[in-house]
Homo-oligomer: A and B are copies of this chain.
C-alpha cells in the first residue's frame, strides 16, 4: 500500500531492537484518512473470504480493525486484556507473552460474540513475533468459528511471525512489509 509506505517513510521513527514507532499516525495519534484507506484495503483483500466478524485485541488493533469492520459492514469484536466485571458468562481465554512487559497477558472474549457459525478475519496493527495473533487464533478455535484470514498493517519481515502462523493454513495479508531497518530508515520488501 503505497500511501502507507510513504507515511512510514515520512513519519515512523526507528529505534534500536527493530522497533518501529508509529504513534504519530496509527497507535497514539490516528490519521483518519489513512486509517480509512487501511480499512478499505483489507476489505478489498478479504471480501472473497466472506468474513462475518473482525477480531482484534485492545488497544492498538482497534483502529485498523474497526476501520475494516466499517468498510465491510460487519461487527468488530475486540478481546480485552482484563476480564471486565460486566462479563458475566465464562469467556474464551487465551494467553500471550508480552515482549514489552516481559510477562504473560490474558485475552478475554465473551463467548456470545463468537460462535461456530462465524467466519473470522483477524486484524492487528503489527505482524512481528505473532504472539498476539496466535492467541487470537486460539480464541477462534475455542469458539468453533472458522478463521478465514489474518491481516496486519505493518509486517516486520525480520521477525518470525509469518512462519509461526504457517500451520493456521489461512491467507495472511500485510499492507507494508518492512525487510529491515538500516541507518534509522525502513527498507521495504515488495
Number of copies of this kind of chain in the complex: 2
Question: A21-61, CB under 8 A of B: which get 1 and which 0?
Answer: 10110001111110110000000000000000000001100
Question: A108-133, CB under 8 A of B: which get 1 and which 0?
Answer: 01101100000000000000000000
Q: Let me know if A23 and B110 touch, CB within 8 A.
A: yes
User: A68-76, A142-150, A172-180: which one contacts chain B?
Assistant: A68-76
Q: A80 near B: Cβ within 8 Å?
A: yes
Residues of B within 8 A of A84 (CB): 23, 28, 100
Q: Looking across the interface, which residue of chain B has its beta carbon closest to that of A87?
A: B23
Residues of B within 8 A of A76 (CB): 29-30, 32, 63
Q: Let me know if B70 and A35 touch, CB within 8 A.
A: yes
Q: 3 closest Cβ contacts across the A-B interface?
A: A30-B76, A58-B59, A21-B86
| A contact residues vs B (CB 8 Å cutoff) | 13, 15, 19, 21, 23-24, 28-33, 35-36, 58-59, 62-63, 66-67, 69-70, 73-78, 80, 84-88, 100, 109-110, 112-113
